[in-house]
A and B are shown apart, each in its own frame.
Chain A
Amino acid sequence: MTSLAPGRALRPPGSPPAPRTGRGRRRSASRRRALLGLALAAPALVLVTVFFLVPLVLTFWMSLHNWPLMGRARFVGLDNYSRAVGDENFLRALRFTLLYTVVITPVLLVLGLFLALLVRRPVRGARFFQSVFFMPVCIGLASGSFLWLYLGQSQIGPLFDLLRRAGLVDASDNLFADVTTALALVIAMVTWKVVGLQMLLLLSGLQSIPDEVVEAARIDGAGGWQLFRWITLPLLRPTLALVLVFSVAGSLLAFDQFFIMTGGGPSNSTITAVYQVYRISFTSFRLGYGAALSVLLMVILAAVSAVQMLLLRGTDHN
């Protein structure tokens, strides 16, 4: 046996060479195609390996250690994970993150859909408002946070001044000193910042609904609300699910907005899960434990996303 190439090894020694059948040619052609495919996918594969798989494996490896900022790392097995389960600070951060997600998701979804319906109509100015609503998306989350931090600041913030003139707050109030108003400000900032993207995605979903379906429903006598309830909404569900996955994943990973606007306060009541990972890793320098918390967070995020994907698939079958 001189050749170990697959497909040849099974041929008994000494037998005449197999005639080149059409099937054989097809097979080598398909092999060439596969190689070409691999070559074309190689850059992406390398990127994924270097920027996703390697850090992921490293993070997991770190999470099995007591890993200080400097000095020797010590293998501790799953200790970090068993500690995380009973870590009241982490659990509190998780609960707060969930609360934030539960509050902000419907706001983004409903407002995004409302804006999409608003700017879909071919009236004058619709394009202008599309741009206006989308513009904040182009601003960095950190810049937006700083902007709103200033806006809501007592004494100097214009937004605070407006609220004061409207009689909603006193001059001596402090929006960031109360968990409810601090959270409300963050939600307002994030909504302003990302609702344009949601609007755009939903707009494209709306535009893919065939006119004939709408026409047919109209001829059957459907009114505005019925049209929305029985035609628009069901046909929009895949897009809605996509937007939902986006916004839930984004909210569960919230960090910048709280780090900048509330600093975790008042009295540590607005610390999100990622914020806690940051604190453990870069304030306490417990990098191994921080890595373990990130892995746990990733698992939670994957599970939540998977459930949402299943829901998305379910709608497709309907």
Chain B
Amino acid sequence: MHNPRWKVAALLSGLAMVAAACGGGGGDTGGDAGDGAAPTGTITVWARDSQQVFMSKLVDLYNKNHEVQAKVTVIPAASFVQKLGTAASSGSGPDVASIDLVYAPYFASVGALEDITELADALPYKDALSPSHRALSTWEGQTYALPFTAEASALYYNKDLFTKAGLDPEKPPTTYAEIREAAQKIRALGDDYYGFTFAGACGGCNVFELTPHVWASGGDVLSADGKQASLDSPQVTAALQLYRDMWTDGSIPSAAKNDAGTQQIPLFTSGKLGMTPLGAFAIPTVEEAKINFGVTPLPGQDGGTGSFAGGDVISVMSGTKNAAGAQDFVKWVTDAEAQDFLAHNGSVPVRTDLVGSIYAPQGEPYAVFGELMGIGKTPYSVVENPIFNDNNGPWIKMINDATFGGDVAGAQAAAQQAAQALIDDAG
């Protein structure tokens, strides 16, 4: 349906690049290559409202020192994918979009993103970019996005409660058994004390918080190519059983049942919750609440660590009228200048080579998250949204039914079947 438009767009952007290349090669012999082909004009950038705080400041920083002037449009997070999809298919999309990395394979697979393999390969720090972001930006061997912002998952624990419960606050749990034991002991401190909580009505939260356990135990929820679901694997069973056990112990508050991702932080900052898995985004709030806390990697069943690599990748959209400008912008956001800004405004750097200099010095928890970025994983699938992020999808239903219902095997079998059906449908 959109083929003619893609062709025109490809042709136009091709011409633009040729023009830019000619300008650089022919005219400017004195300056370096970057100056010679300095792109101009304006570009539009779409981002989710969850990035509102830093996005406009980041773009101001860019606009100050560049010919190209970028303009940000903020889209409500809940409808970002629909809006971007609709706009892209009608040719009214932005030049650049910051996309939750889990959706990158989908957008690349439908031809909405420009192939920027050449640009990506030419980056001197290419190999230092978050491996999971890079994997998600790849579709059929070509690169369609660059890593932009990042988020890792880890276990927050309350050191004061650990001490009070007779646990060593400097020795956070490293196995399932230790998590469960710590949860029980903290629960025993009193009626309104709880050992652990998670967001039982939020698919996206749990792909962030529960899958690291599975990875750390050597398992997975999807095959590497995304074609085969493995929600019925023994590693998933063990992780679910941990949640189930903590629920039957009474370590988990009933609020977890329909927490859509809003209660974990308030519960933790109340000072009466022992442990909860969260991302680096929670650090400022928890520090503000004056909680004496620690952050430790999410363990596997008998050891090992895992983390989810979340965040955004940034793409040049197919059909952009200013491909050179758009490329310049997406390249700049991985620069040290931009990453340093982001590191101080709520994002883990996507550059593992910069973590030590711009991120870890901010404090111990930051160091943990920065470190985790190097091992972070993300399920790769064009149907990530319906399987994992959908709050009515098979993933969260499985966690719910297993934890609160107790039929772990049954919940796994049903979820496996539903997830595989979604994968097969798309393929």
Is the pairing of A and B real?
Answer: yes
A174 touches B85 (CB 8 A): no
Q: Is B171 an interface residue (CB 8 A)?
A: no
Nearest-neighbor residue (CB-CB) of B392 within chain A: A264
B2 touches A284 (CB 8 A): no
Q: When chains A and B are docked, how far (Å) is the Cα of A279 from the Cα of B422?
A: 13
Which size bracket describes the interface of A in this complex? 20 to 34
Q: Is A177 an interface residue (CB 8 A)?
A: yes
B386 touches A283 (CB 8 A): yes
B390 touches A279 (CB 8 A): yes
With A264-B391, A279-B390 in contact, do A71 and B1 touch (Cβ < 8 Å)? yes
Within 8 Å CB of A264, what residues of B? 391-392
With A177-B254, A268-B397 in contact, do A69 and B390 touch (Cβ < 8 Å)? no
B165 to chain A, nearest CB (A): 20
Q: When chains A and B are docked, how far (Å) is the Cα of A27 from the Cα of B111?
A: 63
* One of B138-146, B255-263, B340-348 at the interface: B255-263
Q: Is B137 an interface residue (CB 8 A)?
A: no
B257 touches A284 (CB 8 A): no
Q: Which of the listed residues B82, B254, B405 has the most CB atoms from chain A within 10 Å of its own CB?
A: B254
Within 8 Å CB of A72, what residues of B? 1-3
Q: Which of B3, B85, B258, B383 contacts A263 (CB 8 A)?
A: B258
Within 8 Å CB of B401, what residues of A? 267
B360 to chain A, nearest CB (A): 36
B338 to chain A, nearest CB (A): 29
Q: Which of B2, B112, B257, B385 contacts A177 (CB 8 A)?
A: B257
Q: When chains A and B are docked, how far (Å) is the Cα of A266 from the Cα of B406?
A: 15
Q: When chains A and B are docked, how far (Å) is the Cα of A68 from the Cα of B383?
A: 12
Within 8 Å CB of B201, what residues of A? 263, 265-266
Q: Is A134 an interface residue (CB 8 A)?
A: no
Q: Which of A70, A155, A266, A271 contacts B257 (CB 8 A)?
A: A266
Within 8 Å CB of A267, what residues of B? 397, 400-401, 404-405
Within 8 Å CB of A286, what residues of B? 425
Query: Measuring CB to CB, which residues of chain B are less than 8 angstroms from any residue of chain A?
Result: 1-3, 82, 85-86, 88-89, 107, 110-112, 201, 253-255, 257-258, 260, 383, 385-386, 390-393, 397, 400-401, 404-405, 422, 425
Query: Measuring CB to CB, which residues of chain A are less than 8 angstroms from any residue of chain B?
Result: 68-73, 154-155, 172-174, 176-177, 263-268, 271, 275, 279, 282-286
With A264-B391, A265-B258 given, name 20 new contacts (CB 8 A). Answer: A70-B89, A70-B112, A71-B2, A72-B1, A72-B3, A172-B254, A174-B254, A174-B255, A263-B201, A263-B260, A265-B201, A266-B258, A267-B404, A267-B405, A268-B392, A279-B392, A283-B385, A283-B386, A284-B383, A284-B385
15 contacts between A and B (CB under 8 A): A71-B2, A71-B89, A174-B255, A174-B257, A174-B258, A177-B257, A177-B258, A265-B391, A266-B201, A266-B400, A267-B401, A271-B392, A283-B386, A283-B393, A284-B385
